[in-house]
Chains A and B, each alone.
Chain A
Amino acid sequence: MIELKGLTKVFDTGKARLTAVDHVDLTVPSGEIFGIIGYSGAGKSTLIRLLNGLEQPSEGSVEINGQNITAISGPKLRKARQKVSMIFQHFNLLWSRTVRENIEFPLEIAGVGKDERRKRSAELIELVGLEGRDNAYPSQLSGGQKQRVGIARALANDPEVLLCDEATSALDPQTTDAILDLLVDINKRLGLTIVLITHEMHVIRKICHRVAVMEGGRVVELGEVLHVFQHPKENITKTFVAQVTETEDSAETVRHLREQYPEGQLVKLIFVGDQAEQPILTQLIREYAVEVNIVHGNISHTQRGAYGTLILQLKGTADEISKAIAFLGAHDVQTEVMGNA
C-alpha cells in the first residue's frame, strides 16, 4: 500500500520558486492500478519520482508498505528502490547490453549470483514475450519490444510497486494496447501495485481502476475511473474524458448531425457499467410510440465495466418523446437533449 501525506515539492532555482507538487494526499491500496493524468507541467513526473526517492520532498511523506521512503537514505533507500521499480517513456535501456544483460542489470545491482540471474532473466524474457531475442541489442528492437525489456527489467527483483512514467507515450496505438494488456496481465498474475502517469485518457480508461487528475501540482479530482468518466466535475477532467468518449460531441459534429437528421429530436444517452448491457432500447421501442433511429454510438471498456454513448433520433409526437426521455431518466441513463431542427 502506498500512502502520500501532504506531499510537496518546491524547486528553488535561485530566482524563481516553482511548486511542482502541492500538498498531495493519496492512498493506493495493494494490487490496484492507479492512474495519474495531467498535462505536461502538472507535476505528475515529479510526483512519481517522489515515490521512489529520486526526488526528495520539501514537505510531507511517502509511505510504501509501512516504510517511510522520505525518511531513509543511502543503502536503505537503495534497497527499498529494488522493491519500487520503474519503467520509462524512452525505455532507458543500456544500448551496450543485450536484452538479457539489460534484464540482469538490476539483479547484478541486488547482488544475485550468475546462475540465478541467468535463470531469472530467462523467465522474464518469456513472461514479456521476447523469446529468442535474448542476445539482441536494444538498437535491433522495435519500440514495443524495448518497452517489454523495460518491463522485464523492472520486474527482475520481484517489486511490490511498479511505477510507469508515460510508459506508452512514445509508442503507436497498437503497440500501446499490447503493452497495456501486458501491464494488466502482470497486475493480475503477480498482484503488483501499479502507479502510472500519462496524458492520455485512453491509457486510464483501458487499464486503471482509479484515477487522479493533476493540475498545477494539485490533485483536482480523484475517483473510480468509471465514476470519473460518468461524472467529470472539473473542466480539465471533462477535457480528458472527451479525449476518448466524446469526440462526436464537438459543436461541429452536433450541427452536422442536426443537418443530417432534421426531423424529431436528437438525444444523447450515456450508459455506464451494467446499464450498458441491459435491453433498455428494446423496452423503449415497445412501450412508447416513438420511432428510434440510431445515429451514432460507441462503447469503451474500462477495467471496472463499460462506458458508452449513444445518439438517437426520436421521431413522434412531442408528448411521446418527452415520455420516452422520462423513461430513460428513470432507468438511470444519463440523457441529454441535443435539440431539434
Chain B
Amino acid sequence: MLETLFPNVDWADMWEATLETIYMTAMSTFFTFVIGLVLGIVLFLTAPNQLWANKIVNWLTGAFVNIFRSIPFIILIILLIPFTKFLIGSIRGPNAALPALIIGAAPFYARMVLIALKEIDKGVIEAARSMGATTWTIIRKVLLPESKPALISGITVTAIALVGYTAMAGIIGAGGLGTLAFLDGFQRSREDVTLMATIAILVIVFIVQFIGDYLTGKADKR
C-alpha cells in the first residue's frame, strides 16, 4: 500500500535523512542546552543586585544574546559559512549545520533560562546565603533544581524549533529531511517525497514534545 501512496519514496534514503535530522537535532540541542544555560546563568547573576552584579559583563552578554537572537536563521547560516568552514572544514553535511544551529538557538534558550531563573523566589536564594552557601553551591543546589521544570520545558520548545532549523539548513545542503524534501521532493516535483518528509518531521516533533512534557511534569513538585 505504501508503494501506491508514495511511489517515488526511496525508503532507505528517507530513513537515512530521518537519522540525519535526529542527529542534527540531538547534537545541537545538547550544545544549545549547555551554552544557553551558561549564558542564562551569567545573565541572571550579573544583573544588578545579584550575586555577581557586574554591569559590563551583563551588558556584553545581553548584547551577544540579543544580536544572535535577532538574526533570521537562514541569514545566520550564510553569515557563518566562513566560520563553519574554519571549524568543520566543510560547509556540507550534518556536522556543518551544527555551528549555525547552536549559535542560532543558544541565545534563544539563554533568554528562556533567564526567565526561568527570575521565577525563583529571591527568599530561597537568601536562605541559602544565610546558611553559608557559596555561589557555586547556590547555582548547583538552588538555581538549577528550583528552575528545573522551566528549564526542561524551555529546552523542549528550543529542540522543536531546532528541528525546524535543521530543515532550513537542508536548503544549503546540510542533509536530513530538509534536503530530501527540497532537492528530491520540491525540485523534482515529487510531492509524495515532500509529504513523507513532513510526516517524519512531525513524528520527531511529537516525540520530542511528549518526552519534554513527561520530564517537566516529573520534575515539578510545586
Q: Which A residues contact B (CB, under 8 angstroms)?
A: 52, 54, 77-82, 85-86, 88, 90, 92-97, 105-106, 108-110, 137, 139, 153, 157, 163
In the complex, chain B residues whose CB is within 8 Å of the CB of A90:
121, 123
How far is A39 from B126 in the complex, measured between Cα atoms in Å? Answer: 22
Name the residue of chain A whose CB is nearest to the CB of B121: A92
Minimal beta-carbon separation of B209 from chain A (angstroms): 23
CB proximity of A259 to chain B, nearest CB, Å = 50
Q: Which of B127-167 contact A (CB under 8 A)?
A: 127-134, 137, 141-142, 145-146, 148
Contacts of B145 in A (CB 8 A): 94, 96-97
Tell me the bound Cα distance from A94 to B142 in angstroms. 7
Residues of B within 8 A of A153 (CB): 131
Interface flag for B55 (CB, 8 Å): no
With a CB–CB cut-off of 8 A, which chain B residues contact A105?
A: 128, 131, 141
Name A79's closest neighbour in chain B (CB-CB): B132
* A78 with B133, Cβ < 8 A, contacts A88-B123, A108-B141 known: yes
Q: Does B188 contact A (CB under 8 A)?
A: no
Closest 8 CB pairs of A and B: A78-B132, A92-B127, A81-B132, A92-B123, A96-B145, A106-B131, A86-B130, A137-B221
- In the complex, are the beta carbons of B132 and A109 less than 8 A apart? yes
Cβ contact within 8 Å between B129 and A139: no
Please indicate the chain B residues that have their CB under 8 angstroms from the CB of A54 in the complex.
126, 129-130
- The verdict on A96 contacting B221 (CB below 8 Å), with A90-B121, A108-B141, A110-B132 known, is yes
A97, B126: Cα distance in complex, Å: 17
Q: A82 touching B132 by the CB < 8 A rule?
A: yes
- The chain B residue with its CB closest to the CB of A82 is B132
With an 8 Å Cβ cutoff, the count of chain B residues facing the other chain is: 21
From A156, which residue of chain B is reached at the shortest CB distance? B131
Query: Are A96 and B130 within 8 A (Cβ)?
Result: no
A105-B141, A108-B141, A109-B133 are known contacts. Are A92 and B221 too (CB-CB below 8 A)?
no
Choose among A80, A97, A157 the residue with the greatest number of B CB atoms under 10 Å from its CB: A97
Indicate if the CB atoms of A95 and B130 lie closer than 8 Å.
no
Q: Are A96 and B146 in contact (CB under 8 A)?
A: yes
By beta carbon, the residue of chain B nearest A97 is B145
Q: Do residues B123 and A81 form an inter-chain contact, with CB atoms below 8 A?
A: no
Q: Is the CB of A82 within 8 A of B131?
A: yes
- Chain A positions within 8 Å of B141 at CB level: 94, 105, 108
Question: Using Cβ atoms and an 8 Å threshold, which residues of chain A touch B123?
Answer: 88, 90, 92
CA distance A160 to B113 in the complex (A): 38
Residues of B within 8 A of A95 (CB): 146, 221-222
Most buried by A among B127, B141, B145, B222: B127
- Inter-chain CA distance A97–B128, complex, in Å, is 13
Are B142 and A78 interface neighbours, CB within 8 A? no
Chain B residue with minimal CB distance to A163?
B130
Across the interface, do B132 and A92 meet the contact criterion of CB distance under 8 Å?
no
CB distance from A138 to the nearest CB of B (A): 8
Answer yes or no: B124 CB below 8 A from chain A CBs.
yes
Q: Which residue of B lies closest to A89 (CB)?
A: B123
On whether A139 and B221 interact (CB within 8 A), knowing A92-B127, A108-B141, the answer reads: yes
